[in-house]
Structure 1
Amino acid sequence: MAGGPAFTFGYAEHRELLLAAGAQVVVFDPLRDELPEGTAGLVLPGGFPEEHAAELAANTVLLGAVAARAKSGMPVHAECAGLLYLTRSLDGHPMARVIDADAEFGPRLTLGYRDAVALADSPLWRAGERVRGHEFHRTRLVTAASDAPAWGWHGSDGARVREGALVQRVHASYLHTHPAGNPDATARFVAAAVEYAGIRASR
């Protein structure tokens, strides 16, 4: 689980539920650390990576490791700051390039609750599941994140919104969800990590 100055927004219950589901949770700082040994699942919570983009970009060893693990099928749960970390670039600084999109600090704040529906199966949610979450960000994606968006909802004007990205076993989105309201999702994520660890061990 990412922590440190760039990933400051998370819930204590998230770590507690991961532990309850059988995970060993190791918090690391993407500004300076490498991916912890034995990592089989990655949680990238919210925060303010735009304030630390140059430092995040400088940790090329970690960026490369995250990209390689995501490509190999490791489950990744990325919310807001995590989404930005997985893009090609953030304010011109190279990121992990897991998601085919670029991000930048935008002109206005996006804020509000969302009644979202999972658009496809992922390591956390099943297609059609409804989730209550919120957005709070001033960054924006300047190119489409994915042909396979993670969430759908209706905006205040009634227009259909498609948001986030599903890439391999990566679920990335601006939407913040509270794990205590979605404990099954956390349990599924841990199960996916156990499965991934078993696959790696058998190679």
Structure 2
Amino acid sequence: MAAALLIAAPASGQGKTTVAAALARLHARQGRRVRCFKCGPDFLDPMWLEAASGRPVDALDLWINGPDDCAQRLAAAASKADLIIVEGVMGLFDGEPSAADLAQRFGIPVAAVIDAGAMAGTFAAVAHGLRHWRHALPWAGVFANRVGSPRHADMLREALDPARPDDGGPWLGQLSRSDTVALPERHLGLTMPAEAADTRARLDAAADAVAGQPLGRELAAWPRWQPPQAPQPAPCRRPLAGRRIAVARDAAFAFIYAANLEVLRELGARPVFFSPLAGDSLPPCDALWLPGGYPELHAARLAECARLRAQIAAHVQSGKPLWAECGGLMVLAERLVDATGRSHAMWGLLPGTAVLGRRLAALGPHEMPLAAEAMPLRGHSFHWSRFETTLEPASFTTPQRRSAAAGDGDGDGDGEAVYELGSLRASWFHPWFASSPAAAARLFDMPSPFRP
């Protein structure tokens, strides 16, 4: 039976990913089987957790996935793993559903990471509030991040009332403020591990810092976790049987849920990968998927892909489906304006200009209704860019309000626009295919999934 922890915090930016990755790396390099999950939709944090654990990382979201899908993934992981680590999202109680909801539903003990860099005795008050805000929340303890000195660590630990060890503790240890441990960031969050030459060194340094502390203790010291009873998944039809789906995958198109690829395979499709940045041609395929990523960081190189642009245009002109999400939409625009204000000619299959903004344009969960489907696709939206176009949307996603941090598409309350030109479909929306496999199949099929 596996041990399990949910690494949470009072807010974003406290160091959840660093601590979760440190713990995963510590046990993985000792030969233990570690499975990590990310609470809520995310692409970047899971990349670091995968680099630390050596295994793919799935998202767990009670609204987007649904409780059954979450239970199935946790149960499957627990059957093969020694340790389950779930990284929370935002603050412990932020959003509906929150990380606390997930922990309570599946009985996963919470280890709270608190950025203690500018506090002393208040550390204990924050820990107390996190532990007791909700009755009967499973609790493992509290961990201090960005600690300034050994004396600072002593002050934080001593602030936890030793006469009441259940008040906010137990104390799980600390990470010192260190540029060699902190994970690098940019506008969408963390950078990708593949971009850093010192990824392994950072993870090992973080693991070394956790080793020997209560958080890094032997798994036998942790309470055994009872995995959920998972319902059997419904039999999956194979409407995409025999079809090849070309999937762009490189540093510009890196935001791909491993679970989405699994769903495509279960639907009968064969994903075939290619790299626009490497100069690859479009492989022979029946449908094409341009995922999200960082096209704005590679706009000049993507602008040079004239042969690939012509091949994709011919693909669409022949009536073969193309699904483009977020960064994929940006590449299909006529122009892309990057963070420096420089304009790049893109692939020109969608009329308009994608402009990288200076602040967050949208963040939050959405669902996308499709014609003749009982279950809409659920997923999320997270982007800094806007799309300036005269093209009328074929449809809109429906935003699900969950917290003050979750916006409504472009702020107009209509959700994210879904554009359609012939067999080309594009949106800022990132779908979770397992929320409705039948609807996901429609994105890679004809006729239009948005019109009766």
TM-score range, shorter chain: 0.7 to 0.9
Q: Cα deviation per residue 1:5-29 (whole Å; 9 max; x = unaligned)?
A: 1011111112112122222211111
Amino acid at match of 1:101: G
On the 8 A contact 2:377/2:439 being kept in 1, the answer is no
1:97 and 1:15, CA in 2 relative to 1: closer, same or farther beyond 3 A? same
Taking the aligned partners of 1:115 and 1:86, their CA distance within structure 2 comes to: 22
Deviation at 1:161, TM superposition (A): 4.3
1:117 and 1:191, CA in 2 relative to 1: closer, same or farther beyond 3 A? closer
Deviation at 1:86, TM superposition (A): 1.1
Deviation at 1:114, TM superposition (A): 3.8
Q: Cα deviation per residue 1:150-189 (whole Å; 9 max; x = unaligned)?
A: 3243649774346131111221000111111121123334
Larger Rg: 2
Which of 256, 265, 286 pairs up with 1:40?
286
Deviation at 1:115, TM superposition (A): 3.5
Q: Does 2:347 match 1:102?
A: no
On the 8 A contact 1:151/1:163 being kept in 2, the answer is yes
Normalising by structure 2, we get a TM-score of 0.38
Structure 1 match to 2:434: 180
On the 8 A contact 2:396/2:414 being kept in 1, the answer is no
1:16 and 1:153, CA in 2 relative to 1: closer, same or farther beyond 3 A? closer
Deviation at 1:75, TM superposition (A): 0.4
Amino acid at match of 1:188: R
Instruction: Give the 5 Å matches for 1:106-145.
Output: 106-118=357-369, 125-126=370-371, 130-144=376-390
On the 8 A contact 1:134/1:175 being kept in 2, the answer is yes
Taking the aligned partners of 1:46 and 1:127, their CA distance within structure 2 comes to: 27
Taking the aligned partners of 1:184 and 1:94, their CA distance within structure 2 comes to: 36
Three-state SS of the structure 2 residue aligned to 1:90 is: strand
Instruction: Give the 5 Å matches for 1:88-99.
Output: 88-91=334-337, 92-99=343-350
Superposed CA RMSD: 2.4
Structure 1 match to 2:422: 168
1:190 and 1:136, CA in 2 relative to 1: closer, same or farther beyond 3 A? closer
Amino acid at match of 1:173: S
On the 8 A contact 1:113/1:132 being kept in 2, the answer is no
Amino acid at match of 2:371: R
Which of 393, 409, 412 pairs up with 1:148?
393
On the 8 A contact 1:150/1:172 being kept in 2, the answer is no
Three-state SS of the structure 2 residue aligned to 1:89 is: strand
Three-state SS of the structure 1 residue aligned to 2:289 is: strand
Which of 56, 60, 69 pairs up with 2:306?
60
Deviation at 1:117, TM superposition (A): 4.3
Aligned identity (percent) is 35
Three-state SS of the structure 1 residue aligned to 2:439 is: helix
For structure 1, which segment, 180-189 or 20-29, has the greater mean C-alpha deviation from structure 2 after superposition?
180-189
On the 8 A contact 1:8/1:47 being kept in 2, the answer is yes
Taking the aligned partners of 2:333 and 2:319, their CA distance within structure 1 comes to: 17
Deviation at 1:52, TM superposition (A): 0.3
Identify unmatched segments of 5+ residues in structure 2. Answer: 1-246, 338-342, 400-407, 448-452
Structure 2 match to 1:198: none
Q: Cα deviation per residue 1:77-107 (whole Å; 9 max; x = unaligned)?
A: 1110111111111122222211111112112
1:16 and 1:130, CA in 2 relative to 1: closer, same or farther beyond 3 A? closer
1:12 and 1:181, CA in 2 relative to 1: closer, same or farther beyond 3 A? same
Structure 2 match to 1:29: 275
Structure 2 match to 1:15: 261
1:25 and 1:132, CA in 2 relative to 1: closer, same or farther beyond 3 A? closer
Three-state SS of the structure 1 residue aligned to 2:248 is: coil
Number of corresponding residues? 185
